Chains A and B, each alone.
Chain A
Amino acid sequence: MSGGAARSLRRIGAMIERYLYLLKGSWPRIVELAYWPTMQIVLWGFLSEYLVHHSSYLAQASGMLLAAALLWDVMFRGQLGVSVVFFEEFYSRNLGHLFASPLRAYELAGALFVISLLRTLVGSGMAALFAFWFYHFPIWQMGFVLAAFFMNLIVMGWAIGLVVAGLVLRYGLGAENLAWAAIFAIAPLSGIYYPISVLPQALQVVAHALPAAYVFAAMRALLFHHVVLYRPLWEAAGLNVVYLGLGLAIFLHTFRDARVHGRLLNMGE
């Protein structure tokens, strides 16, 4: 490994350490990681149990709602793991120190991805265990394809998270609610709990541009028909490469713009 790459990894490691310190020092943050996904599973678990006995559709595929809820949460947590963790630097008025150091903006993005991955594994992992203990739904029985679902969804979350972080870098913390709004704007189009064929034609076109729509279509095929559809997963991966690239480009552009307009020194609550 070259000296430059080693130094870059060391800086990414320092930022990961910074976010782990933050988690370690705040038990409410740790509880929160598992709380929301678990509450989501409680809600959808009870609903599933009820519907299984009252719906032939769901009787064929018990667990579909739980799987959808768990996987949707991967994307949601993945996005928050980038954007909300980045907001911590605003809350603490620390951006000036960070970017006067040799830390590159893309290295910060790399650290945010790692922390997002860890947070999502903890949160969604707890929720998956909960789904197994209480509703006897072992999501890991999906096998290796679960990893493909997970990675596609979390990468889409990262792309959205970078755009949200960029917008906050541009417009300040007044735009932080975008972190919550952005993901919910996409939810109805992602075909989480229903096929996107139920959407109006114009919205179906939009849905086809979303990696999540392909992942949930593949999930339903697996749960209903016990087949693994590789094509939609590759299509999702291809779209994710484009979106992650776009997200990174927007983040880097807003970072440079912040340097032009002097926002790095003054941003805070």
Chain B
Amino acid sequence: MSGPAAISVTDLYKRYGTVTAVASLSFDLASGRVLGLLGGNGAGKTTTLAMLMGLLLPSGGSIRVLGEDLLRHRYRVLPWINFSSPYVDLPHRLTVYQNLRVYAGLYGVRDAPARIRELARDLDLEELLDRPYGRLSAGQRTRASLAKALINRPRLLLLDEPTASLDPDTADRLRTYLRDYQRASGAGVVLASHNMLEVERLCDEVIMLRHGRIFDRGAPADLVGRYARESLEEVFLDMARGRSQP
């Protein structure tokens, strides 16, 4: 693989007082690949994503995005990243179009109206552009949030539960779209999800987190084989319930 990794994480730590939220996390993700973060509630997925997007300062370790040190050159790196999370909203009183327009401005997107039209078409948001974000259904909000996450054509896309609240049909179409985007753009994608089918379908590699530490890692099919299980969900349940060790 030529060129720097989309993201390279070395010995990442996050402690809150005596509580260790994430410890000894290291991984490399090549551009054009999708990495899944799996783990139960409180395993450290959202904390990890927050550190990768610069919202949370690690207690130790390093993060390099496309070769640049995120912690030292945050503002050089942030224009290349974007994220979507059900835990962070967009302003409710602004319409979808206005929200996308504001974020296009923040990310310095050229020809913002054209980019917004393109995303609206791709994510089936055309009818919703003039509707206030606060008046969208949960599924519509997820799509609008994803449009915001793609507004700057990120080279590193961080997704926390990207298909939460979506019906199976919409979720399936969105996964296809994300996969197409990732292949066409060569972006690296880090995905945290509880949806094992989604992880199996989208991810090239999976990191399983437990109590903030890497429990195991590998390609989804390899993990299923290694644990002699039928699916990634069974592997996840084994890990969550402490029934197996790698």
- A200 close to chain B: CB less than 8 A: no
> Roughly how many angstroms separate A254 CA and B78 CA in the complex, as a whole number?
20
Q: Which residues of chain A are near B72, meaning CB under 8 Å?
A: none
Chain B residues closer than 8 Å to A22, beta-carbon distance: 91, 93-94
| 0 or 1 for each of A2-15: is its CB under 8 Å from B? (1 = yes) | 00000100110111
Interface string of B82-95 (1 = CB under 8 A from A): 11010111111111
Whether A265 contacts B46 by the Cβ 8 Å rule is yes
**Chain A nearest CB: distance from B163 CB in Å?**
19
Q: Which residue of A lies closest to B105 (CB)?
A: A14
Query: Quick check: is B4 within 8 A (CB to CB) of the other chain?
Result: no
Whether A101 pairs with B88 at a CB distance below 8 angstroms is: no
Q: Within the complex, what minimum Cβ distance (angstroms) separates A114 from chain B?
A: 14
Contact A102 B106 (CB under 8 A): yes
Interface string of B23-51 (1 = CB under 8 A from A): 00000000000000000000000110010
Contact with B along A229-269 (1 / 0, CB 8 A): 00000000000000000000000000010011110111010
Q: Assess whether A259 is in contact with B91, with CB atoms less than 8 Å apart.
A: no
Residues in chain B near residue A204, CB distance under 8 A: none
**Does B228 count as interface, using CB distance less than 8 angstroms?**
no
Q: Are A93 and B89 in contact (CB under 8 A)?
A: yes
A256 to B54 Cα, complex, angstroms: 11
CB <8 Å contact, A101 and B107 = yes
CB distance B94 to A11 under 8 Å?
no
With a CB–CB cut-off of 8 A, which chain B residues contact A256? Answer: 57
Contact yes or no, A21 B98, CB < 8 A: yes
Tell me if B65 counts as interface (CB < 8 A to partner A).
no
Is B103's beta carbon under 8 Å from chain A? yes
Q: How far is the CA of A260 from the CA of B50 in the complex (A)?
A: 11
Number of interface residues of B (CB under 8 A): 36
Interface range on chain A (Cβ under 8 Å from partner): 35 or more
Q: Which residues of B contact A96 (CB under 8 A)?
A: 55, 85, 87-88
Once the chains bind, are B87 and A265 in contact (CB under 8 Å)? yes
Rounded to whole angstroms, the CA-CA distance of A22 and B134 in the bound complex is 13
Docked complex Cα distance between A260 and B58 (Å): 7
- The B contact surface, by secondary structure, is mixed
Pick the residue among B47, B88, B132, B148 that contacts A262 (CB under 8 A). Answer: B47
Q: Please, how many angstroms separate the alpha-carbon atoms of A96 and B52 in the complex?
A: 13
CA distance A104 to B79 in the complex (A): 12
- The residue in B57, B93, B95, B107 that gathers the most chain A C-beta atoms within 10 A of its C-beta is B93
Candidates A21, A88, A91, A259; contact of B102 at CB < 8 Å: A21
Chain B residues within an 8 Å CB radius of A26 = 93
Cα of A95 to Cα of B16 in the assembled complex, Å: 21
Count of A-B residue pairs with CB < 8 Å: 108
Contact of A7 (CB < 8 Å), options: B93, B108, B148: B108
Contact assessment for A94 and B88 in the assembled complex, using a CB-CB cutoff below 8 Å: yes
Q: How far is the CA of A98 from the CA of B83 in the complex (A)?
A: 11
Given contacts A96-B85, A102-B78, A260-B57, contact A18 B91 (CB under 8 A): yes
User: Which of A18, A94, A259 lies in contact with B56, CB distance below 8 A?
Assistant: A259
**Chain A residues with CB below 8 A from B75, complex form:** 102, 104
Bound state CA distance, A10 and B198, in angstroms? 38
* Chain A residues whose C-beta falls within 8 Å of the C-beta of B78 in the assembled complex: 100-102
Question: Which residues of the other chain, A, contact B102 by a CB distance below 8 angstroms?
Answer: 14-15, 17-18, 21
Contacts of A260 on B, CB cut-off 8 Å? 56-57
Contact A97 B105 (CB under 8 A): no
Encode B54-79 as 1/0 by CB contact (under 8 A) with A. Answer: 11110000000000000000010011
CA distance A58 to B131 in the complex (A): 54
Tell whether A137 is near chain B: CB-to-CB under 8 Å: no
Contact B88 A103 (CB under 8 A): no
In chain A, what residue has the closest Cβ to B145?
A97
Contact residues in A for B95 (Cβ distance below 8 Å) = 21, 25
Bound-complex Cα distance A92 to B134 (A): 9
Q: How far is the CA of A25 from the CA of B95 in the complex (A)?
A: 9
A23 shortest CB reach to chain B, Å: 10
Q: Distance in Å from the Cβ of A14 to the closest Cβ of chain B?
A: 3
Q: Binary interface profile of A, 88-119, with partner B (CB < 8 Å = 1, else 0)?
A: 11011111111111111000000000000000
Interfacial residues, chain B to chain A (CB-CB below 8 A): 16, 46-47, 50, 53-57, 75, 78-79, 81-83, 85, 87-95, 98, 101-108, 132, 148
List 22 A-B pairs, Cβ < 8 Å. Answer: A10-B105, A13-B105, A14-B102, A14-B104, A18-B102, A21-B98, A22-B91, A22-B93, A25-B132, A95-B88, A96-B87, A97-B89, A97-B148, A101-B82, A102-B78, A102-B79, A104-B75, A256-B57, A259-B54, A261-B16, A265-B85, A265-B88
Apart from A10-B105, A259-B57, list 5 A-B contacts with CB within 8 A: A7-B108, A17-B101, A17-B102, A92-B89, A102-B107
